[in-house]
Structure 1
Amino acid sequence: MSEVDESGQSAAGQGDRRVWFLPDEAATEAAGRALIALLPRGAVLFLHGDLGAGKTTLVRGLLRGLGYADSVKSPTYTIIETHDLGFGMLYHLDLYRISDPAEIDFLGIEELYGEGLLTCIEWPQRGAGHLPVPDAEVWLSVDGTGRRLELKVDARRALADPLRNAG
């Protein structure tokens, strides 16, 4: 994995944005393992990217970084996948099938925020206005044969270079 850009403050001035190139699936998973070590307990992480961009692979890396060895599947059809680590929960949500942001209120997921180790939310734009402010956001996109990962971290969390040594 190599850093390809460092752009400083985000447009809103609330966070630092960094960009990396991930040459393969293993590097995407390694990025997740590196990121989990720096996210605070109870963090909310938004995951942006098209279908097949690697969002669930990144979550698998987050889980592996916490010692989780079981299979990890996309919650596209279940909306929520819950992973019990024995010392806390990781919630993985996929809002792709949500057609109206108000549906979020009926799912009861607001009870999850801050309760687990981490809440990862794919397709957060589909829940606009019904989700908490994220502690960090990741954008994944296809870049040739690899992936481009852009990370924005809320400046109040003061994460220093979370992916520097990944991969």
Structure 2
Amino acid sequence: MEFDNETALQGFAESVAPHLVGGDVLLLDGDLGAGKTSFTKGLARGLGITDYIKSPTFTLIREYPAGRLPLYHMDLYRLEGGGAGDLGLEEYFEGDGVSVVEWPDYLGEAMPESYLLIHFIKDDFDDNKRTLTFEAEGSRAKALLEALPIQ
């Protein structure tokens, strides 16, 4: 899917939110500035969360409990050398909320069994344009992918 601007990307993310259930895990993969946190802002809005959403780069995890489902926003960029397995992330992944993980390559052994991986690709010529591709692992993630408005 292609998006010409941040507003369109956030609008799409907002349309994903009604399809989410507790325990869903979204892994967001892409370069710095590719739109991962922007997507999360739209997702939060779709979940009814009115808090200001910002990247948890320095805190690793930000929790937003005040929506239809809790949102657990994780940014593992600072764990480039490893260590995600020591954070107890499985409690989030198996919990009652939605987990959004930026930089999932650093999950290592903490990788959940079921997840929807979203690749964010910045356009080389238009800094506002993004392309998203999707991969689902596990039966719940495959069902989620089929339900999304990506046609």
TM-score by length of 1: 0.78
Is the contact made by 2:14 and 2:43 (CA closer than 8 Å) also made in structure 1? yes
* Shift >6 Å, 4+ stretches: none
CA–CA distance in structure 2, aligned partners of residues 125 and 133 of structure 1: 14
SS of equivalent to 2:78: coil
- Equivalent position amino acid for 2:89 in 1: I
SS of equivalent to 2:41: helix
Aligned residues: 145
Is the contact made by 1:100 and 1:127 (CA closer than 8 Å) also made in structure 2? no
- Equivalent position amino acid for 2:99 in 1: T
Please, what is the CA RMSD of the aligned residues? Answer: 1.9
Residues 65-80 of structure 1 mapped to structure 2, 5 A cutoff: 65-80=46-61
CA–CA distance in structure 2, aligned partners of residues 38 and 88 of structure 1: 11
Q: Give 1 or 2: higher strand fraction.
A: 1
Answer 1 or 2: higher relative contact order, Cα 8 Å, separation at least 6: 1
Larger Rg, first or second structure (1 or 2): 1
Unaligned 5+ segments in structure 2 are: none
Residues 29-48 of structure 1 mapped to structure 2, 5 A cutoff: 29-48=10-29
Cα 1:86–1:49 change in 2 (3 A) is closer
Which residue in 2 is equivalent to 1:83?
64
- Equivalent position amino acid for 2:2 in 1: F
* Percent of aligned positions that are identical: 34
Deviation of residue 57 (structure 1)? 0.7
